[in-house]
Structure 1
Amino acid sequence: MKSFSIAFILVFLILQVQGKCNLPIPEYLHPLCGIARECVFDGGNEVDITNQSCRRREQGKPPFLKIENGYCESNQTQCPRYP
């Protein structure tokens, strides 16, 4: 039981350090366009879009309203990439 408790604490600490908006991004490209009211965001894949949507919420911005396959239209205002 003690080893389970230690393992649980370690996993909890690792997740806290990694952060909920920092899922590891896979090394494949599947362009997606995240659409918000005021801007669009070109994401490399669904994990990239998910992380940025989460970071937008942390910054007090609404998450993306819609996700579309492919790159966003270049004539639209680009959303900032939050670190």
Structure 2
Amino acid sequence: MKLLIVFVLAITLVHAEANCRTSVIALNDPHCGELPTCYFNGKNKQAVENESCRRGENGQTGFFFIKKGKCPTDKPACSHIL
């Protein structure tokens, strides 16, 4: 019985972690999500992490790096996932 409860909790936690957030805080602290071919400017780190998660859910590559500050301009902007 205990094993069953642990198994159900583990499945629930994994499922909860797989879903991306639907909202982010409004803090203005620019961060940059980076891929080899493009950049994504986000209002804050949480916004960039959420965009990276949604990219993964849509079968695209999530950001390799997330850095504080605005993105450089030597690459195009990544497409925004709604």
2:59 partner letter: G
User: Secondary structure of the residue that 1:30 maps to in structure 2?
Assistant: coil
User: Secondary structure of the residue that 1:34 maps to in structure 2?
Assistant: strand
Provide the TM-score with structure 2 as the length reference: 0.70
What's 2:65 paired with? 66
Provide the TM-score with structure 1 as the length reference: 0.69
What's 1:79 paired with? 78
Q: Could you tell me how far apart the structure 1 residues matched to 2:56 and 2:26 are? A: 25
What's 1:27 paired with? 26
Q: Which ranges of 4 or more aligned residues in structure 1 deviate by more than 2 Å?
A: none
Q: Could you tell me how far apart the structure 2 residues matched to 1:80 and 1:43 are? A: 12
Tell me whether 68-77 or 26-35 shows the greater mean CA deviation. 68-77
Structure 1 residues without counterparts, runs of 5 or longer: 1-11
Structure 2 residues without counterparts, runs of 5 or longer: 1-11
How many residue pairs get aligned? The number is 67
**Once the two structures are aligned, what percentage of the paired residues are identical?**
30
